Amino acid sequence: MTEDVLNWIKKEKLMTEGDTVIVGLSGGADSVALLLVLLELRQRIGYTLLAIHVEHGIRGEESRKDAAFVEELCRQKNIPCRICPVNVPDYAATEGIGVEEAARILRYECYQKAAEELKQSGAGRVSIALAHHANDNAETVLFQMARGSGVHGMCGMHPKRVLGDDILIVRPLLCVSRGQIEEYLKKCGQEYRTDGTNLDINYSRNRIRHHILPELSVINEQAVSHINQSALLLQQAVSYMEQETKKAVQTCCIGGGGAYVILENEWKQYPEIIRQEIVHEVLGKTAGSRKDLGMVHVQDVCALMEKQTGREITLPYQMTASRIYEGVRLCRRGTHKAGTGTWQEKGGCETEGAAGASQSFYEVTADDFAKLEAGETVSITLPDANVSLRLLLFSGKVDEIPKNQYTKWLNYDRIECGLQFRRRASGDYLTVDDAGHKKKLKSYFIDEKIPQIKREHIWLLAQQSHVLWVIGGRISAVCKIKEDTKKILEVRIDGGNYRED
Q: Which residues are annotated as a binding site for ATP?
A: 26-31
Distant-in-sequence, close-in-space partners of 262: CB < 8 Å, separation ≥ 6? 252, 253, 278, 279, 282, 301, 305, 327, 328, 329, 330
Strand boundaries in 136-266, DSSP class E: 160-164, 167-170, 253-256, 259-263
DSSP label at residue 356: S
> How far, in Å, are 81, 172, 405 from residue 67 at the CA level?
10, 23, 73
**Do 58 and 99 contact (CB within 8 A), yes or no?**
yes
Q: Enumerate residues 6+ apart whose C-beta is below 8 A from 153.
A: 141, 144, 145, 147, 294
Q: Hey, what long-range contacts does 161-165 have (CB within 8 A, 24 or more apart)?
A: 163/112, 163/115, 163/128, 164/112, 164/115, 164/116, 164/119, 165/119
Which residue type occupies 155?
A: C
Judge contact between 302 and 279, C-beta under 8 A: yes
Residues in the chain: 501
Residue of 13, 22, 53 lying closest to 117 (CA atoms): 22
Who contacts 297 (Cβ-Cβ below 8 Å, separation ≥6)?
283, 315, 316
As to burial, measured by CB atoms within 10 angstroms (0-12 exposed, 13-18 middle, 19+ buried), residue 474 is middle
Which residues line the annotated binding site? Answer: 26-31
What is the Cα–Cα distance from 331 to 339, expressed in whole angstroms?
Answer: 10
SS3 275: helix
Rounded Cα distance, 276 and 281, in Å: 9
Decide: 250 and 241 in contact? Cβ < 8 Å.
Answer: no
